[in-house]
Structures are given as C-alpha cells and as structure tokens.
Structure 1
Amino acid sequence: MLSTLTLLQFRSHRRAEIRADGRPVAIFGPNGAGKTSVLEAISLLSPGRGLRRAAAAELIRRQEEVGWKIRADINGHEVETHALPGSAREVRIDGKPAPQVALGTVAKVLWLVPSMDRLWIEGAEGRRRFLDRMTLSFVPGHAEAALDYDKAMRERNRLLKDQVQDRAWYDVLEARMAMAGGRIRAARALAVARIAAAQAGAATAFPAADLAVTGEGPEDLAAALAAGRRRDMAAGRTLEGPHRADLEAIYAEKSTPAAQCSTGEQKALLISLLLANARAVAAPVLLLDEVAAHLDSTRRAALYDEICGLSAHVWMTGTEAALFDHLGPRAQYLEVTETAGLSSLREAAP
C-alpha cells in the first residue's frame, strides 16, 4: 500500500501531500490540472522513466527550476527519488542511496494510460515495454538483466559500426548478452504463464487474452550472434535477440488477434491483462489514467467492482467526479485544480 505521497516542485505541483487510507483513490479535475502528474510520480517509485517515459529534466517545475523530489511511504519502506537541474535521477530507500533497479524489490507498480490504447496496432517496442513491465512485477531481477543485456549490446553495436574484426571482443560481449538474454527469456516466459493462470477461471467482465512472446531469437544466442556478425556488421546493429521480441495477444473467446479487434475490444483486453497482473502479484499499486472515459456505464461499474476486490492499491484519474459515482464511499476522492500554472489538490467528498 502507498500510504503517503509528497511531491515537491514536480511538474505543475509546487507541493502536494496525499495521505491514502488503502481504498481506491479517484483523482478528478479538468484536463491539464495535474492529475496524471500524480500518477506519473507514483510510477517513478519503480525502475525506469515512468509512465510518460520523461527524462529527469522534463519533470522539473518550470517556474522555479530548483529540481524535483518525490517522497513516499510504500509497503513499509520510505522511498525518495529526486533530480537537480542538470543531474541524473537519484534514489534513496529507507534513508540509504540505492540503484533504480532496487525499487523493483520495494513495490510492484503497474499502469494503463491512454497512449497505450494503440498498443496492439503500433510497433513492437511498446508491446515489449508492456511485457517487461508485467515481467518486472514477477521477477524484480528482470530490470538488472535487461540493463546487463542492453549495455553489452550497445558495446557490440559500437564494434559493429566501427567495423572491428577482433573475435575476442565479440566473444566476450556475446557471452554476456547470451547470459543476460537467457534470464530475460525465462522471466518473460514465467510472466506469461502467471498471467495465463490468473486469467483462468477468473470472475471478470473483461475478455481473456492468450499471450505469446515471439522473435526473441534462438536459445543458443551466443552461437547465433557469432554466426551473424558479418550480417550485423553490414547493418551496423544487432539484428536478433530479446531486444527484438514481440508480444502477441489473441482474443481468446473469438480466436481473433488483438490487432484485428475493434478499438473497444483492444481496450478491454488491456484492462483484462492489467487486472490479471494485479491478481497474480502481492499488493501491487495499479495506476489507471482516464480509464473510465471510454467505457460504458455497465462496464465501468464492473471495472470498479473488480478493482475493489483486488489486493492492489488502485489510483485512478478522470475529468469529473461523476465518472466514479459507482464507487461511492468505497473510494477516496481527490480534486485537482490549476490556477496560473500552479496545481493544487484537496480531498473531496464522494
């Protein structure tokens, strides 16, 4: 559970303090007031660049530009992350400096934002990020494996671009990529299996999806990379491995690929997968940005009923309080307003 959250000079918030009581949190207010920024701050309590994938410099409140800070009490830990102008983001857990990847051991943070509505019909990169976010919730070490793989691959790509011929350099890097790649592959397979188990027999109003990971390359990745050096050198980059993976989804009841489903069905599949993910891990934090806007009242009510039955701590945004009427007193309500570029937040009645 996320019990307290403090934002300092973050986006349009000069200072905001939230005390949560464990119920779903419904944040409402006009577009541009700073609702999504609250969710973005929470997403930065996990490894990576958050739900907007913003650089640290982009998060600074422009009026003063003194740097930003997020503090939170989450799952019994005190977490702080901050960045000064011109500096990289830093993390402290229980008062001690920590690498970003350590955040994955403190909290499982999952999210669904409007930009993901086109996940099934756009490029594979977004689906890989979605897959790896799910995977991280099951295997905290997945972030470290991905970093190890990416670092070795960048070094290999540099050799390829420079037309370096020394086999010994490639052998070392390809062995590192194969080791990290094996961990990535195993973690992703575990995540897909856990999601499938969480969907099986679940009482839900949302459609189940059959998932498969494709394009990760052969199991003997080191041998494949060695055999493909000439081809990769011509391309100037590594052409196979876990960084080329894709996540495929089938609307199970209709046996239809997600990419061929209607917009509403694609959204329902995403919600279903996120709910399954939340059921499959212990006490996650679930961020749903504008999730109710494109659901009819029946499906919206079903979503809220399912949310209230989860062990997750759910944070949602919407433009008006009426979108959350079905929740009634089951939720905690926060209203966000903006005046002259400054966001303010207050607790509101249901």
Structure 2
Amino acid sequence: MALTKITLQNFRNHAASELSDSAQFNLLVGENGAGKTNVLEAISLLSPGRGLRRAQLADLALRKTPDAEPGVFAIGASLVEQGQTSARLGTFTEPERPTRRMVRINGAEATASALSEWLAISWLTPSMDGLFTDSAGARRRFVDRMALAIEPGHAKHVTSLEAALRERNKLLETGGDARWLDAIEAQAAQHGAVVSAHRSRLIALLADELSALPPEPFARPILSYRPGGPTDVAELLASLARERRRDRAAGRALSGPHRDELDVVMAVSGHAAATCSTGEQKAMLIAITLAHGVLAASGRPSVLLLDEVAAHLDPGRRSELFRRLRIGRAQVWMTGTELAPFAEIEAEAAVWRVSNGELERL
C-alpha cells in the first residue's frame, strides 16, 4: 500500500474531503463533473511539477465557499509502507503567498523535488491520448515524469537545465559578460548530461519490459530515445560555445537535451505511432503505462492514477489491464461513471462515490 488518509481542503470542488482505508485498487465513481478527476489531480500534486492537468495554482483553490481563503488550498496524505506510516506528505498555498506552492514532509518545510524521494506517482488521462501526435515537448514531459520513478533527483536536473538555458538565452540576446555565459553553459552541460543519461536509461528499461509482453491484447510498442544533441558533458559544453551565434539569431538553443525525442513504433506493423489508429495509439499508451508501473513498483512506493481508462476497453482488455496492474504492485486509483466496468476487482477494491465534491464510501 502507498497512500491513505488523503485529505483535500478547498481544492477544486472539494471543500473538505478525506479518503481513508485505501487498498491496492481504489475506485472513484460518479457522474461527469462530480469531482473524481479532482481527487486524482490532488494526489498527483504530491509529486514535483504541476500535476496531471498542469494547472496554474490560482485555478486549484475552491472559490464557492464564503469562509474559504481566496487562492488557498491544502492536500495531505499518509505514506504507508509494510503496514506502518512512514511519512506524512503535504502541499498547500498560503494567503500571504498564493502563487507559491509549499510542501511539507513530516511537518518540516521541503521542496517539491523532495517528494519524489518518498513516492513515485504516474498517470494516464484522456488528455494524453494524443501524445504521439502532440509536440516533442509533451513527450519529453511524459518521459521526465516516468524517469522520476527510476531517478528521484531527475526533476532537479530538468529544472536546473531549463533555468540555465533561459539565462543563456537572455545573455546571448543582451550580449552579457562572456565569463558569466561560460559559467551558465557549464551548468547547462552538467545538468543536461545527467538528464540525457536518465532518459536514456528509462527508455532502455521500458524497452526491455515491453519486449517481454505479447503483442496483444494491448498493441506492443517499440521505444527508442533520440537525443537532440550531444549527451556527454564535454561535447555538450563545446556545442553550446560553438553555436552561440546561431542560437542568438534563433533566440534559443537549437540542440541539446531540450530537443530530445521519444520515438514509438507499433511492433506488429512497424508503423510510427503517430500514423496508427486512435485505438492503436491508446493501446500502446496503456502498454507503456503498465510497463512503467512494473518498473516504478520495484523501488519506492508507487501510485498509478488512471482516469476513465476502463470504460473504453472491451471485457478482455479490461481483464488483462487488471491482471497486469496486480503484477505491477503499484497502488492504483481509477475513475469511472459506474461500477460495472470494475466488476472483476470491485470485491478487492476500496470504492467511493463522488457527488458534487463530496465522497461516500461504498
């Protein structure tokens, strides 16, 4: 088990909700707009980043309650390992600083990156169905989210790389001090090489896990990592220095880890994922998510958030989905408008009915 006693205060349409006595399978059922996905989003914010909706903080707080502080919300959860509570994780905003997300671990102030040292969280939502036809940046974010399950410090390096590249862009534009530019490029090269190494290792592990799967019932994808430039520290540093004039004209660095790409091909047909049917793309995305769930559960406690994933699968694929989720051993949170698609696991699941931001344990 991973998370229990999850509390939401003034979050989205939840004024005060609590989910206790969770299980490996946890089901949230209710009508569309009831607040099911809001619970998943709250859980996703117990990890670095902006959560499964990538929402702005100002959009997260409940605004309908007269006594609720404007722009203020709180999310907390107990992390349970081998039957014992190992940590209390929390994230929140304060009236004095509503635009800054705060984090506490066991009551002590911490960084959002520190959350990944305790828990690995990944998700699959309907908005991700177009991942293979989306931008390369969307696929990099997808890869980086999965990499956190393997390398807890990955988020720090991604953030540092992005900050260094932004600063480099400013210096190139304004003609800043060359010595400062050298220092910024050294930071970008150092963090960039680590980011590349983490991504490459993740894709290799996923590829191995996927290679052992049958091609059906979920279309098996073949993954490969395509670097956007040099991956070695020295080579990346030399490239940044060499391409200053070109990058200044472009207004951005044209090569490096920020240009990496995830290539996906359907094993049976050999077609690029972007050219496959919508159903085939969804099946490959589920296969990747399940393979990652196995990897994530082999280290720290892990949580998998699946929004409306079962309703669009036929009975055979649903059964296989549940079977593989059991093998993965991650704690799973799923949403649906009715219980029928979850009949196979209902007896072993913790179930809540969600209605207008309120929860009822079934």
TM-score between both structures, scaled by the size of structure 2: 0.91
| Cα distance in 2 for residues equivalent to 1:328 and 1:59 | 31
5 Å-filtered alignment, 1:201-240, equals 201-202=212-213, 205-219=217-231, 220-240=235-255
Q: CA RMSD in A?
A: 1.5
- For the residue of structure 2 that corresponds to 1:88, the secondary structure is strand
Q: Counterpart of 1:40? A: 41
| Cα distance in 2 for residues equivalent to 1:20 and 1:43 | 19
| Cα distance in 2 for residues equivalent to 1:345 and 1:72 | 16
- For the residue of structure 2 that corresponds to 1:256, the secondary structure is coil
- For the residue of structure 1 that corresponds to 2:100, the secondary structure is coil
- For the residue of structure 1 that corresponds to 2:171, the secondary structure is helix
1:267-297: per-residue Cα shift (whole Å, max 9, x none)? 1111111110111123410000011222122
Q: How far 1:83 sits from its partner (Å)?
A: 0.7
| Cα distance in 2 for residues equivalent to 1:244 and 1:23 | 37
Q: How far 1:165 sits from its partner (Å)?
A: 5.6
- For the residue of structure 2 that corresponds to 1:83, the secondary structure is strand
Question: 1:105–1:140: 8 Å Cα contact kept in structure 2?
Answer: yes
Displacement over 4 Å in runs of 4+:
none
Q: How far 1:160 sits from its partner (Å)?
A: 2.0
- For the residue of structure 2 that corresponds to 1:221, the secondary structure is helix
For structure 2, which runs of at least 5 residues remain unmatched after alignment?
Answer: 81-85
Q: Does 1:243 align with 2:244?
A: no
Q: How far 1:143 sits from its partner (Å)?
A: 0.7
| Cα distance in 1 for residues equivalent to 2:254 and 2:283 | 33
Q: Does 1:194 align with 2:211?
A: no
For 2:360, the aligned partner's letter is R
Question: 1:185–1:216: 8 Å Cα contact kept in structure 2?
Answer: no
Q: Does 1:260 align with 2:270?
A: no
**Could you tell me which of 323, 332, 335 is aligned with 2:341?**
323
Q: How far 1:52 sits from its partner (Å)?
A: 0.4
Q: Counterpart of 1:308? A: 326
| Cα distance in 1 for residues equivalent to 2:138 and 2:243 | 26
For 2:94, the aligned partner's letter is L
For structure 1, which runs of at least 5 residues remain unmatched after alignment?
Answer: none
Question: 1:308–1:330: 8 Å Cα contact kept in structure 2?
Answer: no
For 2:87, the aligned partner's letter is H
Count, aligned residues: 343
1:107-166: per-residue Cα shift (whole Å, max 9, x none)? 00010000100000121111011110111110011111111111111110111222x064
- Range that drifts further, 117-126 or 15-24: 15-24
For 1:297, the aligned partner's letter is P
**Could you tell me which of 289, 293, 304 is aligned with 1:286?**
304
Q: How far 1:63 sits from its partner (Å)?
A: 1.4
**Could you tell me which of 163, 166, 182 is aligned with 1:151?**
163
- For the residue of structure 2 that corresponds to 1:276, the secondary structure is helix
Question: 2:24–2:330: 8 Å Cα contact kept in structure 1?
Answer: no
Q: Counterpart of 2:83? A: none
Q: Does 1:178 align with 2:193?
A: no
Q: Does 1:26 align with 2:19?
A: no
Question: 1:2–1:20: 8 Å Cα contact kept in structure 2?
Answer: no
TM-score between both structures, scaled by the size of structure 1: 0.94
- For the residue of structure 2 that corresponds to 1:31, the secondary structure is coil
For 1:240, the aligned partner's letter is S
For 2:208, the aligned partner's letter is A
**Could you tell me which of 67, 83, 92 is aligned with 2:93?**
83
| Cα distance in 1 for residues equivalent to 2:285 and 2:55 | 22
Identity %: 44
Q: Counterpart of 2:131? A: 119
